[in-house]
Homo-oligomer: A and B are copies of this chain.
Amino acid sequence: MSGFPRIEIIGITGIPEIVEGDDLSKMIVDAARDQGTPLVDKDILVVTQKVVSKSEGRLVNINGVVPSAFASQLAADMGKDARLVELVLQESRSIVRMDVDRGVMITETKHGFVCANAGIDASNVPGDDWVCLLPVDSDRSARGIRQAIAALTGGAEIGIVISDTFGRAWREGHSNFAIGVAGVELMKDYRGTLDANDRELKATTIAVVDELAAAAEMVTAKAINVPVALIRGYEHGTSSPEGIKPMIRERSRDLFR
């Protein structure tokens, strides 16, 4: 009746609409406690990007954005708002693919993430003229939440994953990916380990934090008022000294740039 792995994924409900300056960490701690699932050591929290961005004031009013000539041209060809295209360009380090006819811009964000429209989002933002940018440094955001929660809970060691919803190559549908981490090991490395028959395993390295982000989406997706998921019972390393960077494939090693 025991000895088998069992993991819980719990949606944290009751977190109010977040505005700039809100103490998101305290709101998460309180909401988890109020619903009867207080945070404990070794829990992992997957925090969706938008509440992090909102608490950090990453909403931008597009009326204040002046499009460049290139952005205006692109927007006209794609049937898009030139101010939004300008923002996408400003938030991007490079453009990975562009399909002007279909209005698709896949860019590399300044953090290095490859996604549509530099991760800029116009949904669940108060007011038609506002859009939401990714956090400036989502690892720093994750570290901040981790430290604040430790202070609020008398020292609970909580792993933090900040997630966002991106498309993928080759497959339809979006999935959640980690864009910032603190206190959770990025990957499990099976390179060099041997299977039951002493042969190299095929899947050498598992992208643990991306799988945590994807798993969390089961409780955060349908209910847009559930911005945080608690993952309990997953044994994980807590070291993430370099943050999310090692998860991003170097351009020179990437066959799909």
Contact = CB atoms under 8 A, between A and B. Distances in A.
Interface stretch (A53-61, A67-75, A152-160, A169-177): A169-177
A97 B255 contact: yes
A128 B9 contact: no
Interface of A: 1-13, 35-37, 97, 99, 104, 106, 113-114, 121-128, 165, 168-177, 186-188, 195-197, 199-208, 210-212, 214-215, 217-219, 221-226, 234-235, 246-249, 254-257
A46 to B, nearest CB: 11
Given A8-B7, A11-B5, A187 B172 contact: yes
A169 B200 contact: no
A176 B6 contact: no
Contacts of A13: 3-5
Copies of this chain, whole number: 2
Contacts of A128: 199
Nearest to A255: B97
Given A9-B215, A124-B195, A210-B214, 9 more contacts: A1-B36, A2-B36, A6-B9, A114-B170, A165-B206, A168-B207, A173-B207, A175-B211, A256-B256
Contacts of A221: 188, 206
20 contacts: A1-B36, A4-B13, A6-B9, A6-B10, A9-B9, A123-B201, A123-B202, A124-B196, A128-B199, A169-B169, A170-B249, A170-B256, A170-B257, A173-B186, A173-B206, A173-B207, A173-B208, A175-B206, A175-B210, A214-B214
A221 B222 CA distance: 27
B97 A5 contact: no
A10 B234 CA distance: 11
A80 to B, nearest CB: 13
Contacts of A205: 172-174
A135 to B, nearest CB: 16
Contact of A168 (B122, B168, B176): B168
A234 B221 CA distance: 12
